[in-house]
Chains A and B, each alone.
Chain A
Amino acid sequence: MKIPVMSDFVAAGEMPEVLFWVGCAGSFDQRAQKVTGAFVKILQHCNISFAVLGAEEGCTGDPARRAGNEFLFQMLAANNIAVLNGYGIKDIVTTCPHCFNTLKNEYPELGGNYNVLHHSQYIQQLIDAGKLAMKEDGVFKGKRITYHDSCYLGRANDVYEAPRKVLEVLDAELVEMRRCKSRGMCCGAGGAQMFKEAEKGNKEVNIERTEEALEVQPDIIAAACPFCNTMMTDGVKNKEQEEAVKVYDIAELIAMGNALMDVK
């Protein structure tokens, strides 16, 4: 499928409504690519004029900065800001809470000022605006869904309600884990942990969190972050529950609920 890139818009002398920041996971990770696809389907379904940067996009620098490599962070950020400012980008939406946090909170000091939304907030706005009406008797009716808070969405940016509001329209049964919202437990991937082996301990963080999720006996664990998604998926596999419990991103759930995507 042809996905509009910024350079096409500029060539046509136009500007999209919003730039979709895909992120490294959304671009390269096979599981996260499906989330990218689901979100694109939602944007198209709602007739949103959007563009991506394609090969001009680079890592926001979040893992480098949190690992302690400020030089690398500043290099990556400077390149991205030059591209974004060059195109005169004002509005950005992203499916990754880490990109969201960096673009929204850390680029302004470096000269990059944008309105940045996480896709949970963006989808909520689409629902509120009546652009994304859910079908009666949804495919998720009667299913138990538990939402796992991403640290970089929740505690880092106080976004607790948007993903839950989005899930509410699925007409499913939403159940909260013992630790949720500001008390939500990390999946174990943040702070560049995703890119190294865990330190010595008696358990993996994602196993601890998955066990907590399984306690509430969900049919679906909903994530809003590609890294949480990986960690929870691995956790469910480790517990040999992958047949009974599925891990989906909220964008996939909404896309499936609107028959924009096959229900798996």
Chain B
Amino acid sequence: MHFIPQVLFSLLLLATGIVAYRKYSFIRRNILLGRDETLTGSTSERWKNMVLFALGQKKMFRNWIPAVLHLFIYVSFVIVNLEVVEIVIDGITGSHRILAAPLGGFYTFMISLIEVLSAAALLATFAFLWRRNVQKVARFTQPEMKGWPFKDANLILLFEIVLVTAILSMNAIDYQLHQRGTPHYPDTGNLLLGQYLSNLFSSIGSNTLILMERAAWWTHIAGIFFFLLYIPHSKHLHIFLAFPNSFYMRQDTPKGHMDNMPVIMNEVKTMLDPSAEVTEIANPPKAFGAKDVTDLSWKSLMDAYSCTECGRCTAACPANQTGKQLSPRKIMMDTRDRLEEVGRNIDTKGTDYDDGKSLLGDYITAEELRACTTCNACVEECPVNISPLNIILELRRYQVMEQSDAPEAWTQMFNNLENNQAPWQFNPEDRLKWAEEL
């Protein structure tokens, strides 16, 4: 009967793998529903960006306090997962701490490191809960954070506490059991925190301790499996997507550059000069600009999945700060929500199904779009290089070119530009009049 835990563990591992594969494939497929975008720039530059922004968290350090707290959780997450390797081997083979003996002193070092980082992560987690629930940092309390986004953020933090508590008690109890000479509990060396934390368990009988150690072990690994399946539904997906998103970030073009529309460029060129040479466009878009998520570039869709709703963009947005409806974070959250909806529709009702809804109108309103000053503050602030501005501008293009929907004053400006080559109603012949005054 001693093999039952092994079988259970293997089945759990397999089931997690299958479900995770389906969930993450859904996300990948959804991102690829976006329009093609030709990548420019060098691959070596892309790797550099990934190392700088995702691995190195360069932009996080624009804001020191959250950056350091975040770093604790991030580093501990990466390092703790090394212990998961051992847990998986132990789980399948029925061994216990299989790496302790072969690694010796290095094992003690690694587990001690994990303990210290876990403790730091635990402190950071409490600090983050404080910032969200007690201090109520402004960027966490905007309207789009009400409901699920607020719960999601707290759930992840509570979850973090459970995982860290499990790993710290697992190591401490293990240490205590080894000290008592309990069979199957190998020497892990003097664990930096475990040797002291183990004293907490010194008055408990060995049989109970073994049960407690098993409970902590299972909580930890089952927790990680659950976490893996929870993340695709959560803002926490950034822990994976920050990497490809930084890799595929726009490069070689200054932030002020707006995407060209070759179809319109060609049309205007041939209109002005019928003999003009134009390059044929493969797969011209069905409409100008974007009405729904599938009209956006796949990179914008990856942006939406990479967003962890930190709100640095919204906190920096001049429109949002002055009480306008626009929130760049909401633009990203809406894009993701709508994309998930489109994805589910495809899976349940087929590719041709039209639910009559769209990103523009049903999720993002004209009022929000029209408040944008295109100042790039949101793009500048995003730690993982998301561009809410790109989406805003594509939606504006659809509004103006496909729906002829522009504020009266803009229509007047367009007329002036067309007739006088200036946004105001001046005679173009008077362009040099300023010189007379000089």
* B324 engages A200 (CB within 8 Å): yes
Q: Which stretch (B136-144, B264-272, B339-347) binds chain A?
A: B264-272
**What string of 1s and 0s marks CB contacts (under 8 Å) between B392-435 and chain A?**
01001111110000110110111001100111101011111111
Q: B283 to chain A: closest CB distance in Å? A: 18
Q: Which residue of B lies closest to A189 (CB)?
A: B373
| A68 near B289: Cβ-Cβ < 8 Å | yes
Question: B49 CB to closest chain A CB, in angstroms?
Answer: 16
Q: How far is the CA of A195 from the CA of B376 in the complex (A)?
A: 19
Kindly state whether residue B323 has any CB partner on chain A within 8 Å.
yes
**Chain B residue at minimal CB-CB distance from A194:** B423
Flag if B322 contacts A201 (CB, 8 Å).
yes
Once the chains are docked, how many angstroms separate the CA of A151 from the CA of B418? 26
Rounded to whole angstroms, the CA-CA distance of A57 and B316 in the bound complex is 36
Does B82 belong to the interface (CB within 8 Å)?
no
A109 vs B253: C-alpha distance in the bound complex, in angstroms? Answer: 12
> Measured between alpha carbons, how far is A195 from B412 in the docked complex, in Å?
9
Is A195 a contact of B318 with CB atoms below 8 Å? Answer: no
Residues 102-145 of A at the B interface (beta carbon under 8 Å): 104-106, 109-110
Tell me the chain A residues, 144-168 only, with Cβ under 8 Å from chain B: 151-152, 155-158
Provided the pairs A66-B393, A105-B256 are in contact, do residues A1 and B318 lie with their beta carbons within 8 angstroms? no
Q: Is the CB of A71 within 8 A of B264?
A: yes
Contacts of A158 on B, CB cut-off 8 Å? 254
Instruction: Report A35-91 residues with CB < 8 Å from chain B CB.
Output: 36-37, 40, 52, 54-55, 57-59, 61, 63-72, 74-76, 78-79, 82
What distance in Å separates the Cβ of B393 from its nearest Cβ neighbour in chain A? 7
Interface residues as binary, A199-212 with B (CB distance below 8 Å gives 1, 0 otherwise): 11111110111000
Kindly provide the distance from the CB of B413 to the nearest chain A CB, expressed in whole angstroms: 4
Instruction: Determine the chain A residues whose CB is within 8 A of the CB of B374 once the complex forms.
Output: 66, 151, 190-191
B193 → chain A closest CB, angstroms: 40
CB distance from B196 to the nearest CB of A (A): 44
A182-238 interface (Cβ within 8 A of B): 182-183, 185-186, 188-205, 207-209
Instruction: Report how many residues on chain A are interfacial, defined by Cβ distance under 8 Å.
Output: 74
B322 & A204 in contact (Cβ 8 Å cutoff) = yes
Q: What's the nearest-Cβ distance from chain A to residue B250, in Å? A: 12
Given contacts A28-B430, A33-B434, contact A69 B254 (CB under 8 A): no
A199 near B319 (CB under 8 angstroms)?
A: yes
Which B residues lie within 8 Å of A105 (CB)? Answer: 253-254, 256-257
User: A24 near B422 (CB under 8 angstroms)?
Assistant: yes
Interface string of A15-42 (1 = CB under 8 A from B): 0000000101011110001001100100
Q: Provided the pairs A76-B417, A196-B407 are in contact, do residues A58 and B422 lie with their beta carbons within 8 angstroms?
A: yes
Q: Contact between B423 and A63 (Cβ–Cβ < 8 Å)?
A: yes
CA–CA, A263 to B36, complex, Å? 56
A59 and B376 contacting across the interface, CB-CB below 8 Å: no
Choice from A186, A192, A201 contacting B323 with Cβ under 8 Å: A201
List, in ascending order, chain B residues with CB within 8 A of A195's CB: 409-410, 412-413, 423
User: Is A3 interfacial (CB-CB < 8 Å)?
Assistant: yes
How far, in angstroms, from A71 to B410 measured CA to CA in the complex?
14
| B375: Cβ under 8 A from any A Cβ | yes
Q: A55-B432, A74-B268, A109-B260 are in contact. Are A24 and B318 (CB under 8 A)?
A: no
Instruction: Return the contact of B260 from the options A59, A110, A152, A185 (Cβ within 8 A).
Output: A110
* Contact between chains at A59 and B437 (CB < 8 Å): no
Closest Cβ of chain A to B350, distance in Å, is 32
Q: Could you say which of A5, A76, A79, A151 contacts B432, with CB atoms under 8 Å apart?
A: A5
Asked if A58 contacts B421 (CB within 8 A), the reply is yes
In contact, B376 and A199 (Cβ under 8 angstroms): no
A94 sits at the interface (CB 8 A): no
B397 lies within 8 A of A70 (CB): yes
User: What is the minimal beta-carbon distance from A139 to any residue of chain B, in angstroms?
Assistant: 21
Q: Residues on A close to B: CB < 8 A?
A: 1-3, 5, 22, 24, 26-29, 33, 36-37, 40, 52, 54-55, 57-59, 61, 63-72, 74-76, 78-79, 82, 101, 104-106, 109-110, 151-152, 155-158, 182-183, 185-186, 188-205, 207-209
Further contacts, 12 of them, CB under 8 A, given A64-B413, A74-B267, A191-B373? A27-B434, A28-B424, A28-B431, A37-B434, A58-B422, A63-B423, A71-B267, A75-B268, A152-B256, A156-B376, A189-B373, A190-B374
